[in-house]
Chain A
């Protein structure tokens, strides 16, 4: 049905998992009330978590997880060849995510810590964009299904999607959350990208920045505030590097 000059498309989508917990993929199957409509809007041709079919015939590839092995690099490059639009889904795909923490340590020591006497093949963690070109990044740990739905709608209508420019603080205020800084906790809310509806501070825990930096964040002032409130340099650095989203910042 064409309306207002827009002919809705039903893109063929493949969902592929790499190094991650598969929680973002699970989100795609979540929000049951709109799952039928969601699956009506796209044609899933490859999605191990919900379907046994497999195909190379897709226009959109959703990539979940970070890249930590040689075979993952080869597989990802192969997917890039097929996909018209390659989407990094979730914080691991966008920034490397929690997996990236290991990059700060000796790789063999990390391997031994986790696997003991049976080490596994592993590389320093890379985000998807460090291996292939990425057309769209949807951050979050996990991604917000409602936001994924809106992005899918925009793809179908061929209208660019705008991520919120504002940081998490704004959404805390909009839900009457008492500032966790006031309660003596560290929080990345002032510099982290909003759009998540700030569930962590509402639950009593500061923001860990899973969606990466907000538009034009004032990192310098943020570091000053954290320091003035008595947080140690190491603690602040650890928080900033937790999801890898602030890695590129000066």
Chain B
């Protein structure tokens, strides 16, 4: 990895230059909750002052900029009994500033599924390749357990990664593109003191995480397949799908054909979907493989913490805790995993 040191003033200039020619998405405060805590979202910004890099977390992940909630995959027109199909990929450059390590790790996991050898998605790849990513280190967010699932540090998947050293940023450069764009402002080589300060910050952050026992989780889950824990939590589940929507890695979707009222055009529309919905595993003929909440909730956890591990040697979950925060019923991965761990000890 290549490192540089960037003054705070230069960083402001850097973002302002970026704003001149690129769509910039960044954490922005959108309000406060009932307890007065600020609420942030990744939104398009027009000025540096709109950005709040000290944000703790965002309600929604940045997933929608790579996997939109709704996306038109193709449009067909029908004229003289002949179909004509048009496909458009999003290629306009975009920069996302201030992603945390968990969210960049989430993109790396999505890359494995959607930009891998088996079923590459050109829709995802075009958005991913044309998005310039500037990450930033931060103190652990409330409830976050990214360290337990190995997502608190990130070594690739971004262009630039910042660590705040109070009066300056320590910048990790991970792409030629990142290196070139950084040339627009003045930087300097890190000194021994810079390196030292950077490592101190990293150690401070790493030491603040609350432990979560995830040791041997895939096997534990197999042993706990019939556990009462699933029903206990599923009885509370509203099947509202909010967990999957705010999740930075949930990528399941449905596709529907939308035909224009005059029958002359048709669009294939993809919509991100949730495995918690009653009809998620409904098949032709009306059979439903997961008609009850218990099975649906269990399989979400199985996909995240067991199935994905089998396929990719790592969990799909990055420990951002957005699902736990968004759930009105209080269902959250920390308590569910905790229950599974302790049930067998009892």
Contacts and interface: CB of A to CB of B under 8 A. Distances in A.
Chain A complexes with chain B = yes
Interface of A: 3, 8, 34, 37-38, 40-41, 149-150, 153, 162, 165-167, 169-170, 173-176, 178-179, 181-184, 189-191, 214-218, 221-222, 225
A221 B69 contact: no
Contact of B238 (A3, A41, A167, A182): A167
B277 A178 contact: no
Nearest first, the 10 closest Cβ-Cβ pairs linking A and B are A173-B245, A169-B240, A37-B261, A37-B262, A174-B69, A165-B279, A34-B261, A190-B238, A170-B241, A165-B278
B278 A167 contact: no
25 contacts: A37-B262, A40-B262, A150-B258, A166-B240, A166-B241, A167-B239, A167-B241, A169-B240, A170-B240, A170-B274, A173-B60, A173-B69, A173-B246, A174-B245, A175-B69, A176-B60, A176-B64, A178-B30, A184-B34, A189-B240, A214-B239, A216-B239, A218-B237, A218-B293, A221-B235
A215 B261 contact: no
Given A176-B41, A215-B278, A218-B238, A170 B34 contact: no
B85 to A, nearest CB: 16
B260 A37 contact: yes
A222 B236 CA distance: 9
Given A178-B39, A179-B242, 15 more contacts: A150-B258, A162-B279, A165-B277, A166-B277, A169-B241, A170-B240, A170-B242, A170-B245, A173-B69, A173-B245, A174-B271, A174-B272, A176-B64, A179-B326, A216-B239
Interface string B287-330: 00000010000000000000000000000000000000010110
A190 B33 CA distance: 19
A182 B326 CA distance: 9
Given A173-B60, A221-B235, A41 B261 contact: yes
B31 A183 contact: yes
Given A182-B33, A182-B39, A173 B239 contact: no
A207 B329 CA distance: 17
Contacts of B271: 174
Contacts of B235: 221
A184 B278 CA distance: 28
Nearest to B326: A179
Main SS class of interface, B: loop
A173 B261 contact: no
Contacts of A173: 60, 69, 241-242, 245-246, 326
A75 B272 CA distance: 45
A72 to B, nearest CB: 32
Nearest to B277: A166
A183 B39 CA distance: 10
Contact of B33 (A40, A170, A183): A183
A36 to B, nearest CB: 8
B278 A216 contact: yes
Contacts of A218: 236-239, 293
Nearest to A173: B245
Interface in B24-40: 30-31, 33-34, 39
A181 B272 contact: no
Interface in B51-85: 59-60, 64, 69-70, 81
A164 to B, nearest CB: 9
B263 A8 contact: yes
Contact of A191 (B39, B238, B245): B238
Given A38-B261, A183-B34, A218-B237, A169 B278 contact: no
A150 B41 CA distance: 33
A173 B68 CA distance: 12
A181 B241 CA distance: 16
B246 A190 contact: no
A214 B43 CA distance: 30
B259 interface: yes
Nearest to B243: A173
A178 B33 CA distance: 9
A194 B279 CA distance: 13
B150 to A, nearest CB: 27
A216 B262 CA distance: 35
